[in-house]
Amino acid sequence: MARMVRSCMQSMLKLLNSVTGMVGIAMILYSAWMIKIWEGHSSDSATDDSSQPNPWFIYTFLGFGITLCVITCCGHIAAETANSCCLYMYMLFILLILALEAAVTADVLLNSQWVQDFPGDLTGNLEQLTKFISSNFKMFEWIGLLIVSIQGLCLLFALVLKALGPHPYYNDDDEFSSDNVPLLRDAAARLSDSWSIRNNEKVTR
């Protein structure tokens, strides 16, 4: 029963963890698109490179996407092996991501001048993304809630998997003794009986 529950928890953790990986891949692709647009604008302008604004938002977005992909890989390894160290590391990563998301969300909701808390983005990507989110706030609200819920479930399943422990490995030869396996015990008994009958027949002759 415990083995079946463990396998179910591993499968669910891998499935939910894959959603986090897909979010990370989407962020990487969006960052690549922004970098392409940014390089196109930079090549069109004849200004010196030193006067070009630093696209910190693009690189931050890209770094966050890569981080999510790394966490996804760590989660798959932890789910497959059910190793305590991997599970602890995975849960730590999830907690850090949740804390970061909670801090950013609290700053946006409680601070009306939250844009001023970030460095100036002369590329305009942050402003465009902010306007797009504002125009589709209801949809992004549900998307954000879904992502946070998935991360919370990943944390919960990792805790359950940690409590169940890894798969038992049979390193002791006693586990395979005939006393613990009825079929082997019966086969050994039949073999012993047939051997005794043959010996008795030889003695009789």
> Could you list the residue range(s) of the whole structural domain that residue 200 is in?
173-204
**What's 44-96 look like in SS3?**
HCCCCHHHCCCCHHHHHHHHHHHHHHHHHHHHHHHHHHCCHHHHHHHHHHHHH
Q: What gap in Å lies between CA 95 and CA 66, rounded to an integer?
A: 17
Maximum Cα interatomic distance, the chain, rounded to a whole number of Å: 112
- To which residue do tokens 């549900």 refer? 142
Pair (122, 181) in one structural domain: no
What does DSSP assign to residue 166? S
Quick one: pLDDT at residue 81?
85
Query: How many domains would you assign to the chain?
Result: 2
Pair (113, 188) in one structural domain: no
pLDDT tens digits, 134-167: 777 788 788 888 888 988 899 898 888 888 876 6
Pair (150, 192) in one structural domain: no
Pair (142, 83) in one structural domain: yes
Quick one: pLDDT at residue 41?
65
Instruction: Please report, to the nearest 10 degrees, the dihedral formed by the alpha carbons of residues 66, 36, 29, 112 taken in order.
Output: 80
Quick one: pLDDT at residue 29?
92
Pair (81, 159) in one structural domain: yes
Q: What gap in Å lies between CA 101 and CA 143, rounded to an integer?
A: 13
Task: Compute the residue count for the chain.
Answer: 205
Q: Is residue 48 part of a domain?
A: no
Residues of the chain with pLDDT under 70: 1-2, 41-54, 112-126, 166-205
Pair (140, 95) in one structural domain: yes
Pair (68, 146) in one structural domain: yes
